[in-house]
């Protein structure tokens, strides 16, 4: 196999720096980095890498939804989810979104390198994934939900999504209905259950 080209996405610059150095010392080149899900999509579109190494919890667009979009945007790019969440539900969502690899952040270095190399070669490394219930939200609804949880106002969401405030209000109303939410706090709780923007309001982002 030739040189493996990777786009690395994590919202912590120190984490990215450490992973980049690790990969570089083992012959894997990081062609671009991203600190949020939207930047990740731009870098993948630009570089068409062999592998996208993606954190689950990122601002603006979470890693699971970003994975789903990368599968459409750049089918030749294998997504490897890198996360602290040792939870079958996350693994199941990652698989259904199109991820080809799943590595815990506390795994051995050799595990990460092995998965990156195998995914770059076209293999899938998702051992142990369990089925979970299908998510009730559309891709757009998940995106709006994350932005709501991050504290964005309707006008800010409309600007980010290039939609009218009326459209955003409709999305928000459907979210409230689908999730049985009566308040913003209910939406936050529902987002946590669905794995949307997990940890963004706390200290355990991963």
CA distances in angstroms from 122 to 57, 75, 90, 98, 147, listed in the order given: 25, 11, 22, 13, 33
Q: Which of 104, 80, 84 is nearest to 206 (CA)?
A: 84
| pLDDT the model gives residue 132 | 39
Q: Does domain 139-194 have CATH number 1.10.10.10?
A: yes
Pick the CATH number of 4-120 from 3.30.70.20, 3.40.50.620, 3.40.50.2300, 3.40.1650.10: 3.40.50.2300
Domain boundaries, the chain: 4-120, 139-194
Task: Specify the residue for token string 């991963």.
Answer: 206
| pLDDT the model gives residue 58 | 87
Distance CA(144)–CA(168), nearest Å, equals 8
| pLDDT the model gives residue 197 | 56
Segments of the chain scoring below 70 in pLDDT: 1, 127-136, 197-206
Map 25-86 to HEC letters.
Answer: CCCEEEEEEECCHHHHHHHHHHHCCCEEEEECCCCCCCHHHHHHHHHHHCCCCEEEEEECCC
- pTM for the predicted model, two decimal places: 0.65
Residues 89-124 have pLDDT tens digits of 778 888 888 999 998 888 888 889 999 999 998 888
């Amino acid at each position: 196999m030739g040189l493996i080209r990777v786009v690395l996405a994590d919202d912590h610059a120190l984490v990215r720096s450490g992973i980049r150095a690790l990969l570089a010392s083992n012959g894997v080149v990081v062609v671009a980095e991203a600190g949020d899900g939207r930047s990740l999509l731009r870098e993948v579109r630009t570089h068409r890498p062999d592998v996208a190494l993606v954190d689950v919890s990122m601002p603006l667009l979470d890693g699971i939804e970003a994975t789903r979009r990368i599968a459409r945007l750049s089918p030749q790019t294998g997504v490897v989810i890198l996360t602290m969440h040792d939870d079958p539900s996350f693994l199941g969502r990652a698989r259904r979104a199109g991820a080809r690899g799943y590595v815990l952040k506390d795994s051995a270095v050799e595990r990460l390198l092995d998965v990156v190399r195998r995914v770059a070669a076209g293999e899938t490394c998702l051992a142990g994934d369990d089925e979970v219930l299908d998510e009730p939200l559309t891709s757009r609804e998940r995106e709006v939900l994350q932005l709501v949880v991050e504290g964005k106002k309707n006008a800010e969401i409309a600007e980010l999504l290039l939609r009218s405030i009326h459209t955003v209000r409709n999305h928000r109303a459907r979210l409230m209905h689908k999730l049985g939410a009566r308040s913003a706090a209910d939406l936050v709780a529902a987002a946590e259950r669905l794995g949307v923007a997990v940890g963004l309001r706390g200290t355990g982002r991963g």
